[in-house]
Amino acid sequence: MKLGIAVVYLVKDENEKLLDLHLHKIEKHTQVPYTIYASTNQLLPKFEEKLKQQKKIQICRCQTFDPSASPDSPFPKHAREHSFYLEQLIQQAIEDNMTHIAILHVDSFPVRSGWAEELAEKLSEPCVLASVKRVENRDYKPCTQCLFFHRDFYLKHHPTLLLSKTELSSPEYRAYQQQFKHHMDSGVGYGFKVYREGLSWYPLLRSNRGEDHYTLGSIYGNLIFHLGASARDELIFVRDSYHLRRSRTKRVLTALWKLGSLWLPANVKQKFDARFKKMWRIHTSRRIQKRNESAQERVKKRLFRDPERYLDYLRTGLDRQR
């Protein structure tokens, strides 16, 4: 096996320890020949210098993403940007004759030796991918926190991480979307390709026995750690929004508002209905953001203070003294 690991490196200044841990864990637990194909277009210069010192990292001079491209795309900017760089890294790994490709994030890494061999064993002629599946966040497609495949699948089926407008408007995609609810981001194209070709993929599901948050600080398949949202400022996840839209507090407030507004003229009521919904969104978004920021800081603090102990806790649920 020759493993190409594709990573788009975008690291906040305060997350240098996360970058160090990501690199250390890949080196420690990857026992097959490997090369990390790195995009550094959006990386701080001091961190790029750190990557240059790593023998098994190949920094790829990727074309720069143009945020004005495809302004009518249904995919958000961060998904288009991430996929834009990943596609170039994957192509480079294929051209270098890597037999297997793994996509990781800068805040994801293996937690056990032999991870690549174990994922390779899951692949077969009908089962062409092994990937994180974030059921806990209502995302039922292959996810790029870890997405693993053989070069033969890529060369035969030519998957793309995102989809074109033509593909998105097809009856086949609408059927796929109904059967497998998913977020509009990197990986949806691989999921749709597997579905359309009548193939299958092996899901790495969240296997935590200990946790500080339902998605931040997750272990998948007892193989891959993912911190979550390390490069994002907005920390609002799909499940948060889903539950709060259906929260008891909102139902009570909505009922009270409807009761209290019965005497209002229809045009005035419509205006205040819109204002009530806007105020609720602002209120809940701030509350979710604050809660998840606190959770992420708690996870990072424990992870950086004693990585082995914290990862062991996430995997076993036991907070053992060292």
Q: How far is CA 237 from CA 118, 136, 154, 214, in A?
A: 30, 10, 31, 10
pLDDT reported for residue 308 = 96
Beta carbons within 8 Å of 270's beta carbon, 6+ residues apart: none
Q: How far is CA 115 from CA 3, 234, 258, in A?
A: 12, 31, 55
Averaged pLDDT of the chain = 88
pLDDT reported for residue 280 = 47
Q: Per residue in 111-123, pLDDT tens?
A: 999 999 999 999 9
| Structural tokens at position 158 | 């030519």
Tell me if 225 sits within 8 A of 109, measured CB to CB. yes
pLDDT reported for residue 148 = 98
Does 251 have pLDDT greater than 60?
A: no
Interval 92-118 mean pLDDT: 98
Give the helix/strand (H/E) hosting 103: strand 100-104
Q: Per residue in 48-76, pLDDT tens?
A: 999 999 999 999 999 999 988 777 788 98
Does 41 have pLDDT greater than 90?
A: yes
Secondary structure class of 99 (helix, strand, coil) = coil
Band of the pLDDT at 292, cuts 50, 70, 90? confident
Secondary structure class of 9 (helix, strand, coil) = coil
Q: Where are the alpha helices (DSSP H) in 96-181?
A: 115-122, 151-157, 165-168, 171-179
Q: Does residue 202 or residue 266 have the better pLDDT? A: 202
| Structural tokens at position 247 | 């929260």
Q: What are the boundaries of each domain within the chain?
A: 3-226, 238-316
Interval 225-229 mean pLDDT: 90
CATH number of this structure's domain 3-226:
3.90.550.10
Interval 25-51 mean pLDDT: 96
Single out the residue of 182, 184, 75 nearest to residue 135, CA to CA: 182
* Residue matched to tokens 């993912």: 226
Beta carbons within 8 Å of 128's beta carbon, 6+ residues apart: 149, 150, 153, 157, 194, 199, 200, 201
Q: What's the CA gap between 277 and 297, in Å, rounded?
A: 30
> What is the edge-to-edge ordering of all strands in the sheet holding 224-226?
108-110, 224-226, 218-220
Single out the residue of 180, 197, 203, 181 nearest to residue 129, CA to CA: 203
Kindly report the backbone phi and psi dihedral angles of residue 161, in degrees, each rounded to the nearest multiple of 5, phi listed first.
-70, -35
Band of the pLDDT at 236, cuts 50, 70, 90? low
Residue 177, CB-side half-sphere exposure with 13 Å CA sphere: 11
Task: Record the pTM.
Answer: 0.85
Q: Per residue in 123-176, pLDDT tens?
A: 999 999 999 999 998 999 999 999 999 999 999 999 999 999 999 999 999 999
| Structural tokens at position 69 | 């491209």
pLDDT reported for residue 156 = 98
| Structural tokens at position 202 | 């092996």
Amino acid type, 201: W
